[in-house]
Structure 1
């Protein structure tokens, strides 16, 4: 009896050890308490509070993860260049101010900052994104007997998955091609010093925060050169190629920020298909018949992975929208209930702060960069837009229609 009891205990201990060994440790967020400061300018404490919180977030990020690069150049026994650059790598998932005060026209905050352990954040607002075409680098890689929906279908389905996630409000504009030279993407070929980039123009004219684009880098089917020759064997190989072949898949996905035109996301997805690699002409991307083909299934998998990667990358990025109208001290912004704007939300307004020369109907500017001009407090919400007021009248701050507002 004792031996049986001992064996049972031994087996239980072994099973417990195995189950513990299979449990993967969960990443835990790191929470730190830090102080931030900012000067109060033009009698706007709300803006100073926002800037002080940003200062606290920077301090918290430095404590968590920082890369330092230093460079020293010596010429004729003298130091000619001595630089130190620093870049933080932490993502902030949540913040809470636990104390705030002002002294000598300086705003102080003490905040609890939660740094993300998995490089992702909880999205508080739904962000607008527009999908543009994914042109083929080599048109000849897709024959006239195959589907012609890849050009618009891949970005359309990728955008649809982003919409379904609940984090984005999407627009499909797959008739727009950002890359006339697809082989050079994501480089743009229409840059000019006196006007904003095409990305910024698209974002402004469509009222979106992000611009999704990409290229189909590779869809090549293996060469038929080795099948040349005469005789039954060469003929059999040629016939076999119509049934069993090898095809490479390479798709690049990009996301640009409409506020600055900066490239925020760039990823290349590659795969290989062996077998029946052709996609019939009547099949559309995202359909059941498309996904039932070998190449279509691999492309669908790439689209799904790209949507996950984009969501993770943009989750920590601040929400941004534009001012669409100003009446007295009422400021109307192009975001409302559908973007999850709430009464009491405070957004930072970015303005050029002057009457700089506009050459494109107000979409861009020459001269001063956009700077924080004030804090907009939301007091009225509709499904499509919201109304707020500034600490100081808009005309005194140089705030105008077309200026940006951001969550921080």
Structure 2
């Protein structure tokens, strides 16, 4: 009896040790109080306040893991260029201004900045994203009697998960293929002189911030060559391939910024399955029957993981929309309550300050030079659009229809 009791005690201690060993310490957010400053230009204190708050956030981030590069150029005993660039692993989850004032044409902000422990942010606004087709690199890898829904179904279901998260407003354009040569993706092959990229055209035409795309790089079923031979065994193995086989799965997912055409996310997901690897023609992506198949279940897992990765990657990315109408100092923007805008919100207006930007001797259009020129304060909200006021009339700032409005 004593021996049994001793064994129970030792087992309890062993299990307790395992339990403690598996407990991971939870990362905690780090809060710091910092001061930021910015010059007040053209009598616009709201813009200076926004820039001072950004400076405070930079100061807070520098207290985390950061890499800083600075450069100063002196021309005729005067500083002609003084720049500082910084990369930090810290992401800001919350900020609170506790004191602000202006002196000598400088705006000062003292803020409490909470740095996220997991390098993610809590999105305040919902961002618009459009899903385009996921073409197959090798069409022959999906046979005729299998489902033909992968091309549009994978991006459609991925977009649905992003919308269900509450962080995105999604739309589908799965009839559009960004990659005529899927094997070269994410390179865009349809460059046209003096015109924005296809990504930027799609984003502007559909009023979205991000463009989701991808390619199905691999769905190959293992070769049957090793099954060749003579005799009943070789014949049986060849027949068994139609029931039990191995299939590779490889899917690339990309997200572009629709305003600049920049590639923000590129991720490859690979897996394989063994068993009945074919998906019947009547099954559509996202359905229970699709997910119940070996290949469909793995694809569903990849879609779920890609949704998580996209949300994490874009959580700290600023919300952006466009100006759709200007009347004196009243500005209408292409976002409203569905994007979670509120009366009193202040957004930074970015306007074209120069000519279009080109490369390759002027043949490749890459965008427009945009600079922060003012602050738009939201006064009226509707579900589809919002109306705001600028500190200075739009004509004095050079603000035009089509210019950008961003949360930072």
User: C-alpha distance in 2, partners of 1:324/1:281?
Assistant: 44
Match of 1:302?
A: 302
Task: Quote how far apart the aligned CAs of 1:192 are.
Answer: 4.7
Secondary structure of the equivalent of 1:323?
strand
Match of 2:319?
A: 319
Task: Quote how far apart the aligned CAs of 1:22 are.
Answer: 4.3
**Contact 1:353–1:373 (Cα < 8 Å) also in 2:** no
Equivalent residues in 2 for 1:380-395 (5 A)?
A: 380-395=380-395
**Contact 1:353–1:399 (Cα < 8 Å) also in 2:** no
User: C-alpha distance in 2, partners of 1:18/1:278?
Assistant: 42
User: C-alpha distance in 2, partners of 1:371/1:238?
Assistant: 65
User: Cα deviations across residues 319-343 of structure 1 (Å, max 9, x unaligned)?
Assistant: 1111111112111111111111000
Match of 1:202?
A: 202
Secondary structure of the equivalent of 1:332?
strand
User: C-alpha distance in 1, partners of 2:13/2:292?
Assistant: 47
Give the TM-score normalised by structure 1. Answer: 0.88
User: C-alpha distance in 1, partners of 2:328/2:182?
Assistant: 47
Secondary structure of the equivalent of 1:370?
strand
Equivalent residues in 2 for 1:6-405 (5 A)?
A: 20-67=20-67, 86-192=86-192, 194-353=194-353, 356=355, 369-405=369-405
Task: Quote how far apart the aligned CAs of 1:87 are.
Answer: 2.0
Task: Quote how far apart the aligned CAs of 1:385 are.
Answer: 0.6
Task: Quote how far apart the aligned CAs of 1:358 are.
Answer: 11
Task: Quote how far apart the aligned CAs of 1:112 are.
Answer: 1.3
Secondary structure of the equivalent of 1:179?
coil
**Contact 1:353–1:397 (Cα < 8 Å) also in 2:** no
Give every structure 1 segment of 4 or more consecutive aligned residues whose post-TM-superposition deviation is greater than 3 Å.
8-23, 67-70, 356-359, 364-368
User: C-alpha distance in 2, partners of 1:270/1:63?
Assistant: 38
User: C-alpha distance in 1, partners of 2:105/2:54?
Assistant: 18
Structure 1 unmatched ranges of 5 or more? 1-7, 71-83
Task: Quote how far apart the aligned CAs of 1:88 are.
Answer: 1.7
User: C-alpha distance in 1, partners of 2:160/2:353?
Assistant: 38
Between 185-194 and 149-158, the greater mean CA deviation after superposition: 185-194
Match of 1:75?
A: none
User: Cα deviations across residues 234-283 of structure 1 (Å, max 9, x unaligned)?
Assistant: 21111010000000000111111112211111111111100100001111
User: C-alpha distance in 1, partners of 2:161/2:400?
Assistant: 35
User: C-alpha distance in 1, partners of 2:68/2:340?
Assistant: 38
In the alignment of these two chains, the number of paired residues is: 386
Bigger proportion of residues as strand: 2
Give the TM-score normalised by structure 2. Answer: 0.88
Secondary structure of the equivalent of 1:63?
coil
Task: Quote how far apart the aligned CAs of 1:10 are.
Answer: 11
Secondary structure of the equivalent of 1:52?
helix
User: Cα deviations across residues 122-166 of structure 1 (Å, max 9, x unaligned)?
Assistant: 111111100011111111111111111000000000000000111
User: C-alpha distance in 1, partners of 2:160/2:152?
Assistant: 12
Match of 2:80?
A: none
Task: Quote how far apart the aligned CAs of 1:86 are.
Answer: 4.6
Match of 1:81?
A: none
CA 1:357–1:304 in 2, change beyond 3 Å: closer, same or farther?
closer
Secondary structure of the equivalent of 1:259?
coil
Task: Quote how far apart the aligned CAs of 1:67 are.
Answer: 3.3
User: C-alpha distance in 2, partners of 1:69/1:377?
Assistant: 34
